[in-house]
Amino acid sequence: MNACCKQTYYSLTKLLSHVLESQKHQRFQVPSIRKLNLSSRTSCHSLGCTSPTNTPTGSSSQYRFVKSGNNECLATIEKNWTIVVKRRLCAESSQYTSTKISSQNLSFWQRVLKRLSNFRRASSKTNVTEQTVQEEFVSWRKLFSLAKPESKMLSLALLAQMVSVGTTMIFPMAVGKIVDIIQLPNSVDQLKWMASALAGLFVVGAVAVTVRVALMTTIGERIARDLRKQVFKSLMKQELAFFDGRQSGELVNRLSNDTSVVSKTLTENLARGIRSSVTTTGGIGFLIYLSPTLTVAALSFIPFLTIVGGVYGSYVRSLSKKLQDALAAATQVASERISAIRTVRLFAGESIEASRYTQRIEDAFQLAKKVAIAEGFYMGGGFFMGQASLLAVLWFGGHQVLQGAMTVGQLASFAMYAVNVGFGVSSLANGYGQLTRAQGAGARIFAILDRKPCPLTGITESEMESSLYSGSSHIPHVENYRTSIIFDQVHFYYPSRPQHSVFKGLSFQVEPGELLAITGMSGCGKSTILSLLSRLYIPQEGHIYLGGYDINSLDINWLRRQIGAVPQDVVLFDGSILENISYGAGKDVSMDEILRAATVAGADYFIRQLPYGYETQVGERGLSLSGGQRQRIALARAIVRRPRILILDEATSALDVESEASISEAVDLLRRKEDMCTIVIAHRLSTLRDSNHVIVLNKGVVAESGKFDELIAKPKSILSRLMLISEGHGMEVTDDEKLGRGT
Ligand SMILES: Nc1ncnc2c1ncn2[C@@H]1O[C@H](COP(=O)(O)OP(=O)(O)OP(=O)(O)O)[C@@H](O)[C@H]1O
């Protein structure tokens, strides 16, 4: 149960108690938000409560609870004493799951209320900690569940580990025996036997170490590989809104650093932990066997180490999370600035960026230094205590040897076991620090692995398996649909910016085979239309229809296959031009189709001029091509899919007028030939003039709609103003105002 759910329950409890109260007095009174006293635990503001819809006594009343724009929940008290609780399917969805609680019976309400408050008590006790653990640290059990697929190999490696530990455990005893044997007369044969036995033991130990290291390293790499694959796959499934609130550097850090911390813990650290536990417990057993009284002196340092170890562990635990975050922040700066090196260079920002990165990495270093100092003190203290207890062993043990209660060999063995136990204990404490680090890294990994993408805008497992080219619409006769598009009363805000509405009831229609031009001031939401039509986001209210079908009811792969889009900020992938054009067109696309698309997009000519033609590498994000060349390749990439709908978002803005005109002509021919519905987002007069229909967006709605000539003929229309501005005639402002110094 997440925090929002809990808040919803708090709020519902309040609502219900009010309902009960008013029922007692035989009247229905709509409680005000203030009366509900939501601020007692979570402020009204933080819940984002809207005022109850203004309803007279006796009718239904609706309350809306929102937490930071996410997980909206609506609670409606109906006239007939029914409470309807609706929760959004996901943050951006306009679909709700709904639950009804209905009864005229007072005791029923009391039972519900009691259960809710019990739930609230239970959830406030357990879920807060659960959530904290989920956010910051994952349980050991869950962490080790990642090693489950490797359990057989891991068991084998641990067996090898036990053998190698066993050989080292026997060694001190054997040394003690040798010391005692060499003091005896005529002991050469015994010495020979012991030496041969020890040599055999060393060989077994060496083989076990070889097997353990080889297996553990391979398993570690395999766990890291599988984790990276799963995390990346899970990232690919998430809806776009998920990425809006995150930085790519942070996600890359999870993929690289966190996965390697976890895999190391599940292999190397686990092996070390087991070795240390066995060395410690086995060593203590040998100590007691050799001399119970001396064991007390030898182990006197353990309580100290345990207490200090606990303090050290929790200190390192809190620091290591901060350290990981600081490293992620540094990675983010580095990856962003390196990928934008041209901009950095153009603005001579090298030294600013270098100092920005230095600052971030310095922050990480300061934290790492604190960890190192703590580790130094802990290890130094442990070393001193270990040496002191060894001295105590030699002091008291020496007396016991002198008194004949112990042999010299036994004392030697005892001293060696005591040293082993000391190392074992300190290694265990150190391992605990590593484990908590891995718990932090594991929590960040599970936050991605366990995240269920929004069912409408994310990709499900089966949709991912069934690739773009096998998705079907789910509605048999949709395959022959006519490409009409309807936006019906669409209300939309980006989930990361809920306070800013982009659309406030947007409605328009595109007829099959039509060329629609969309224009408007910058930021009015033109590109957002492409995102909504492709279901990258979904409107909070309203519907979008394709061929008469609500796009939310269509298979997402099928839907996206219908659309060929050239976005405003064209991104190509590192690879050849051929690979880039065929990207997303499936494996079966033929060379003829690629050439045809490149010709329509006006790209074929310049591609043939390049040294390697279609095999020319475009570099990271296609930066080794010009802006206009990138746009033409992106257009070819959109056309090669043979879409039913083509959306061009200022797709020819980087081209000269002549090239733009010839491409427009070719695209128009294709549109007519294939009955393709085309939407162009443009500011240019030439593009708008060629369209069948123009809509002008303003303040979240369609402000003007009609044929270009009709709209431009109206002197006060927004379109004519926009055209004047774009031609530089519309701004009757002084130079000072243009320079931002106007009054
Ligand atoms: N991912 C996002 N998260 C939050 N807000 C966004 C996001 N993308 C766009 N916006 C905001 O939504 C509004 C509409 O953006 P959009 O890109 O659709 O405008 P536009 O009309 O295409 O602008 P332009 O003509 O400058 O390209 C803008 O105010 C923008 O700041």
Q: Which of 521, 526, 648, 680 to mutate to test the pocket of ligand 1 (most atoms within 8 A of CB)?
A: 526
pLDDT at 651: 72
Distance, CA of 83 to CA of 17 (rounded, Å): 12
Residue type, 678: T
- Ramachandran category for residue 609: left, alpha or beta (phi over 0 → left; psi -120 to 50 → alpha): alpha
Q: Which of 242, 247, 497 to mutate to test the pocket of ligand 1 (most atoms within 8 A of CB)?
A: 497
262 lines ligand 1 (CB under 6 A): no
Q: What is the mean pLDDT of residues 178-185?
A: 82
Query: pLDDT (tens digit, 9 = 90+) per residue, 457-504?
Result: 777 777 766 655 555 556 655 666 778 899 999 999 888 888 888 999
pLDDT at 107: 63
Structural domain includes residue 595: yes
Residues 114 and 232 in one domain: no
Residue type, 723: M
pLDDT at 270: 82
Residue 229 Cα to ligand 1 midpoint, Å, equals 32
Lowest mean pLDDT among 161-175, 230-244, 593-607, 719-733: 719-733
Lowest mean pLDDT among 3-12, 254-263, 633-642, 708-717: 3-12
Residue 196 has pLDDT above 80, yes or no: yes
Residue 741 has pLDDT above 80, yes or no: no
Per cent of the chain over pLDDT 90 is: 7
496 lines ligand 1 (CB under 6 A): yes
Which one, of 523, 529, 524, lies nearest residue 509 by Cα?
A: 529
Q: Whose CA is nearest to atom 20 of ligand 1?
A: 523
501 lines ligand 1 (CB under 6 A): no
pLDDT at 336: 84
Residues 307 and 235 in one domain: yes
Place of tokens 């020819």: 652
Residue 420 Cα to ligand 1 midpoint, Å, equals 65
Residue 524 Cα to ligand 1 midpoint, Å, equals 7
Q: Which atom of ligand 1 is nearest to the CA of 497?
A: 4
Q: Which of 243, 246, 494 to mutate to test the pocket of ligand 1 (most atoms within 8 A of CB)?
A: 494
pLDDT at 76: 64
Q: Whose CA is nearest to atom 24 of ligand 1?
A: 522
Query: pLDDT (tens digit, 9 = 90+) per residue, 50-98?
Result: 333 333 334 445 544 444 334 455 666 665 556 666 666 665 555 556 6
Distance, CA of 474 to CA of 364 (rounded, Å): 51
pLDDT at 56: 31
Structural domain includes residue 532: yes
Q: How confident is the model at residue 214 (pLDDT cuts 50, 70, 90)?
A: very high
Residues 429 and 498 in one domain: no
Query: pLDDT (tens digit, 9 = 90+) per residue, 620-653?
Result: 777 778 888 888 899 899 888 888 898 988 877 7
Residues 615 and 534 in one domain: no
Q: How confident is the model at residue 243 (pLDDT cuts 50, 70, 90)?
A: confident
Q: Whose CA is nearest to atom 31 of ligand 1?
A: 523
pLDDT at 314: 76
pLDDT at 293: 84
Residue 725 Cα to ligand 1 midpoint, Å, equals 21
726 lines ligand 1 (CB under 6 A): no
567 lines ligand 1 (CB under 6 A): no
Residue 537 Cα to ligand 1 midpoint, Å, equals 13
Q: How confident is the model at residue 104 (pLDDT cuts 50, 70, 90)?
A: low
Residue 178 has pLDDT above 50, yes or no: yes
Q: How confident is the model at residue 506 (pLDDT cuts 50, 70, 90)?
A: very high
Q: Which atom of ligand 1 is nearest to the CA of 241?
A: 1
Residue 715 has pLDDT above 70, yes or no: yes
Q: What is the mean pLDDT of residues 207-224?
A: 90
Structural domain includes residue 568: no
- The count of domains in the chain is 4
Structural domain includes residue 577: yes
Q: Which atom of ligand 1 is nearest to the CA of 244?
A: 1
Residue 598 has pLDDT above 80, yes or no: yes
Structural domain includes residue 120: yes
Whole-Å CA distances, 391 to 386, 402, 405, 491, 710: 9, 16, 18, 78, 101
684 lines ligand 1 (CB under 6 A): no
Distance, CA of 422 to CA of 430 (rounded, Å): 12
Lowest mean pLDDT among 29-38, 76-85, 302-311: 29-38
Q: Which atom of ligand 1 is nearest to the CA of 524?
A: 21
Picking from 432, 449, 466, the residue at the C-terminal end of a domain is 449
Structural domain includes residue 633: yes
Residues 635 and 684 in one domain: no
Picking from 640, 658, 675, the residue at the C-terminal end of a domain is 640
**Full domain range(s) for residue 493:** 457-562+643-743
Residues 692 and 732 in one domain: yes
Residues 393 and 324 in one domain: yes
Lowest mean pLDDT among 126-130, 143-147, 314-318: 126-130
494 lines ligand 1 (CB under 6 A): yes
pLDDT at 69: 38
Residues 471 and 348 in one domain: no
Residue 523 Cα to ligand 1 midpoint, Å, equals 5
Residue 699 Cα to ligand 1 midpoint, Å, equals 13
Per cent of the chain over pLDDT 70 is: 76
Query: pLDDT (tens digit, 9 = 90+) per residue, 130-173?
Result: 333 344 667 778 888 888 888 888 889 888 988 988 888 888 88
Paired with 697 in beta bridges are 520, 702
Q: How confident is the model at residue 328 (pLDDT cuts 50, 70, 90)?
A: confident
Lowest mean pLDDT among 2-11, 159-168, 529-538: 2-11
Residues 115 and 178 in one domain: no
**Which CATH number is 509's domain given?**
3.40.50.300
Could you tell me the two tokens for 12? 């519902």
pLDDT at 112: 60
Residue 218 Cα to ligand 1 midpoint, Å, equals 47
Q: 49 vs 412, which has greater pLDDT?
A: 412
What sign for the dihedral angle of Cα 591, 593, 599, 603? negative
Whole-Å CA distances, 344 to 330, 362, 574: 17, 21, 21
Distance, CA of 400 to CA of 487 (rounded, Å): 94
Residues 436 and 530 in one domain: no
Picking from 449, 482, 497, the residue at the C-terminal end of a domain is 449
DSSP 375-403: HHHHHHHHHHHHHHHHHHHHHHHHHHHHT
Lowest mean pLDDT among 225-239, 353-367, 432-446, 542-556: 432-446
pLDDT at 731: 47
Q: Whose CA is nearest to atom 26 of ligand 1?
A: 522
Rounded-to-10 torsion of CA 479, 485, 488, 492: 100
Residues 116 and 217 in one domain: no
pLDDT at 321: 74
Lowest mean pLDDT among 413-427, 514-528, 711-725: 711-725
Q: Whose CA is nearest to atom 16 of ligand 1?
A: 525
Interhelix angle 627-639/591-600, nearest 10 degrees: 130
Q: Whose CA is nearest to atom 29 of ligand 1?
A: 523
User: What is the value of ipTM here, to two decimals?
Assistant: 0.97
Residue 563 Cα to ligand 1 midpoint, Å, equals 20
244 lines ligand 1 (CB under 6 A): yes
pLDDT at 94: 53
Structural domain includes residue 200: yes
pLDDT at 503: 93
Q: What is the mean pLDDT of residues 598-610?
A: 87
Residue 101 has pLDDT above 70, yes or no: no
Q: Is 64 exposed, middle or buried (0-12, 13-18, 19+ CB in 10 A)?
A: middle
pLDDT at 128: 33
pLDDT at 122: 46
Q: Whose CA is nearest to atom 7 of ligand 1?
A: 494
Distance, CA of 44 to CA of 50 (rounded, Å): 9
568 lines ligand 1 (CB under 6 A): yes
Which one, of 501, 471, 490, lies nearest residue 695 by Cα?
A: 490
Q: How confident is the model at residue 571 (pLDDT cuts 50, 70, 90)?
A: confident
Distance, CA of 25 to CA of 288 (rounded, Å): 77
Residue 388 Cα to ligand 1 midpoint, Å, equals 69
Residue 371 has pLDDT above 60, yes or no: yes
Q: 668 vs 129, which has greater pLDDT?
A: 668
Structural domain includes residue 567: no
- Please name the residues in contact with 205: beta carbons below 8 A apart, sequence gap of 6 or more: 163, 164, 167, 168
Residue 268 Cα to ligand 1 midpoint, Å, equals 48
pLDDT at 362: 92
Residues 18 and 89 in one domain: yes
Share of the chain residues as helix, strand and coil, in percent rounded to the nearest 5:
60, 10, 25
Q: What is the mean pLDDT of residues 105-124?
A: 56
Distance, CA of 2 to CA of 33 (rounded, Å): 23
